[in-house]
Amino acid sequence: MITSTTHTTPHGDILELSLARPDKRNALTPEMLTALRDHIAACKRSSARVLLLSGQGPAFCAGFDLSLCKDHPDGSVMRALLSSLHDCIAALRSLDIPVVIAAHGSAIAGGCALLGGGDIILTNAQAKIGYPVPRLGVSPAVSAPFLRDLTHDGNARARLVENTLIDGRTALRLGLAHECLDTPEAVHPRALAIAAGLAAKPAAALAATKRWLAEISPILNADSGLQASLALTGGEEERRLLPQAWSRL
Partner 1 sequence: MSLATVTTSGPIATLTLNRADTRNALSLDLLRDLHAAVDDLDARIARDRNLHVVVLTGAGKAFCAGMDLKAVLDNHDLALQLLSTLAKLTIKIRKLPAVVVAKVNGAAIGGGCGLACVCDLAITHADAKVGFPEVDLGVCPAVVAPWLVRKVGSGRARKILLSGGLMSGQQAFDIGMIDTVCPSAADLDKTTDEITTRLATGGPLAQAATKKLLNELDDSLNEALVLRGAQLSADVLSTPDAQARLRAKLSS
Q: Does 247 bind partner 1 (CB under 8 A)?
A: no
Q: CB of 197: closest distance to partner 1 in angstroms?
A: 8
Binding residue for partner 1, selected from 23, 45, 204, 247, defined by CB under 8 A: 204
Q: Does 120 bind partner 1 (CB under 8 A)?
A: yes
Q: Does 152 bind partner 1 (CB under 8 A)?
A: yes
Residue 2 or residue 213: which is nearer to partner 1 going by CB? 213
At position 128, the amino acid (one-letter code) is K
Q: CB of 151: closest distance to partner 1 in angstroms?
A: 6
Query: Interacting stretch for partner 1, rule CB under 8 A, among 14-22, 28-36, 135-143, 149-157?
Result: 149-157
Q: Does 170 bind partner 1 (CB under 8 A)?
A: no
Q: Does 202 bind partner 1 (CB under 8 A)?
A: yes
Q: CB of 100: closest distance to partner 1 in angstroms?
A: 10
Q: Does 178 bind partner 1 (CB under 8 A)?
A: yes
Can you give the binding site for partner 1, defined by CB under 8 A? 98, 119-121, 149-152, 175, 178, 194, 197-198, 201-202, 204-206, 208-210, 212-213, 216-217
